[in-house]
Structure 1
Amino acid sequence: MTEARGSAGRNGDTHARYAPGTPCWVSLMVHGLAATQDFYGALFGWEFQPGPQQLGPYVRALLDGHEVAGIGQLPPDRHLPIAWTPYLASDDVDLTAETVRLCGGTLGVGPLDAAEDGRLAICSDPSGAVFGVWQPLARLGMTITGVPGAPAWNELVTFETAGVAKFYEAVFGYSEEAVASADVDYVTLRIGGRPVAGLHGVGDALPRDRGPHWMTYFEVADVDEAAGRLVDLGGHVLKPPRDSAHGRVAEVADPEGARFSLLQNPR
């Protein structure tokens, strides 16, 4: 992670409507829904409420009463990669889905209604990385950020940023800011001048078994403590805690293999 948006502070930041293109939700589809709730509940202090159920059993994770993420149950016969998926806000998901297709991406699911909560689509960019699109109705998405247990940043890990950056700019209207370094291939995506997500080109260092993918960073109060607790809960540390320009980070995986990062913002 080369640049992250500023922290909202210890009391968090509650949200009105998200500007189109802003990550507004993260969702995970798993085989063991109850066990996954136990894991993330113990790791982040989440509590859970059901719904909506359009794609099968689904729960919304709450942090101190604020919605921060969703977890759904995969059908037994579906053997899909277990991965956290960010959803990007849209004022018109049907138009966004059509733009994804016209710009070389793929539409995997939808657009479809999620009860009265909103309308969604699940897409992949030209490199194959999966992301969601959310048009809010009754539910805006995440209702708090900037506190431990909430998503803090989303970053596309890909081979190189040049081509895929053009795709996201065309679909969502981002402005781009590249790192001025011959050794680092990183682009920050901005909406209205504010950083909202990143693209990180890692070349041959991209895991062969994963391909391009989005990585979600969850804020924690203490990365080292959280990583140790994660292991006790059955998770795995993939890259041990280390200091970065934007805080202390670790890359980890839950018991079903979904990868994510822990971020301890400097205060």
Structure 2
Amino acid sequence: MPLRTTYAEGTPNWTDLPTTDQESAKAFYGRLLGWEFQDDPVPGGGVYSMALKNGSAVAALSAQPPAQRGMPPMWNTYFAVENVDTTCAKIEPTDGKLVMAPFDVADYGRMAVASDPGGAVFCLWQAYSHIGAGLVNEPGGVVWNELLTSAPEQVVPFYQRVLGLGVTETGMDGEKYTMFQAGGSDVAGVSPSPGGDLPNHWHVYFAVDNVAATVEVAPSLGGSVLMAPFATPVGQLAMLAGPQGGTFSIHQP
């Protein structure tokens, strides 16, 4: 279902990147993923750059807030919830941490920021006028969200209790792979952290027409190839980073 107008409770519905150089990031992702941008003023100064694909919102870029300066940029994953305040009340009793208490974002929605018991940060979104991404699972849009964590035994029950997600397990290249379910559909995955310099985090996958061609052009646009293209049962994958950081993967079904 590429075009979306609603999201079931607990479904990843939005992603954005607070970055140290917003204009450079717009140039990189615009050319790499075919995005156009709509700059919306932010109270207090600055803009929130809404990324559009075929006229539909798919993601956003913004300036990194002062509290995050000195930290590497990271893509945020948002989860749709019916009531942010009610959901936030479950976080700390379930061994998570409330990083930013609920607040309204104009008439777009109400959000909060939290971290799970493994330290991975995520956002909650209660939609008003902005439901999240209007286009998914198509080139230029988000196709999957995956929690890379060193503590799957701790965090899977956390998301079940806080977001009401179901859990199934399947095989992927001979390894057990955990998937979260919402509204009867698989909506996200859980994978052991790859280690190295990457912290536990929610990882974003963008769909592309051709992984090899996208990887080839990324360095010329200022990006980095962290993992060369490789085949999986669900298609070709590769891992990249933008010019300022901000690790993400690309997927060719």
What residue in structure 2 maps to residue 263 of structure 1? Answer: 251
Q: Which has the higher strand share?
A: 2
2-structure distance, mates of 1:246, 1:206: 23
Deviations 1:52-110 (A, max 9, x none): 62585321111111000011101467223311111000100111112112211111123
Q: Residue 37 of structure 1: which of 14, 19, 26 is its match?
A: 26
Q: Which stretch shows the higher mean deviation, 70-79 or 23-32?
A: 70-79
Cα–Cα, structure 1 residues 103 and 151, in superposed 2: closer, same or farther, change >3 Å? same
2-structure distance, mates of 1:222, 1:52: 34
2-structure distance, mates of 1:105, 1:133: 13
Q: Residue 119 of structure 1: which of 110, 122, 126 is its match?
A: 110
1:193 aligned partner, one-letter code: G
2:186 match: secondary structure: strand
Percent identical pairs in the alignment equals 36
Paired residues of 1:119 and 1:134 also in contact (CA < 8 A)? yes
Q: Which stretch shows the higher mean deviation, 37-46 or 171-180?
A: 171-180
Unpaired runs of 5+ in structure 2? none
Paired residues of 2:172 and 2:233 also in contact (CA < 8 A)? no
Normalized against structure 2, the TM-score is what? Answer: 0.94
1-structure distance, mates of 2:251, 2:229: 9
State the shift of 1:160 in Å. 3.7
| 1:178-257 matches, cutoff 5 A | 178-179=169-170, 184-202=175-193, 205-207=194-196, 209-257=197-245
1-structure distance, mates of 2:244, 2:7: 31
Post-superposition, which runs of at least 4 consecutive aligned residues in structure 1 deviate over 4 A?
Answer: 180-183
What residue in structure 2 maps to residue 4 of structure 1? Answer: none
What residue in structure 1 maps to residue 42 of structure 2? Answer: 53
Cα–Cα, structure 1 residues 93 and 231, in superposed 2: closer, same or farther, change >3 Å? same
Paired residues of 1:14 and 1:145 also in contact (CA < 8 A)? yes
Paired residues of 1:161 and 1:185 also in contact (CA < 8 A)? no
* Count of aligned positions: 251
State the shift of 1:216 in Å. 0.4
2-structure distance, mates of 1:145, 1:180: 25
2-structure distance, mates of 1:140, 1:100: 23
State the shift of 1:191 in Å. 1.1
Cα–Cα, structure 1 residues 152 and 131, in superposed 2: closer, same or farther, change >3 Å? same
Q: Residue 27 of structure 1: which of 16, 20, 29 is its match?
A: 16
State the shift of 1:147 in Å. 1.3
Deviations 1:93-147 (A, max 9, x none): 1111121122111111231111100011111111100111100001100001121
Unpaired runs of 5+ in structure 1? 1-7
Normalized against structure 1, the TM-score is what? Answer: 0.89
The Cα RMSD (Å) is 1.8
What residue in structure 1 maps to residue 94 of structure 2? Answer: 103
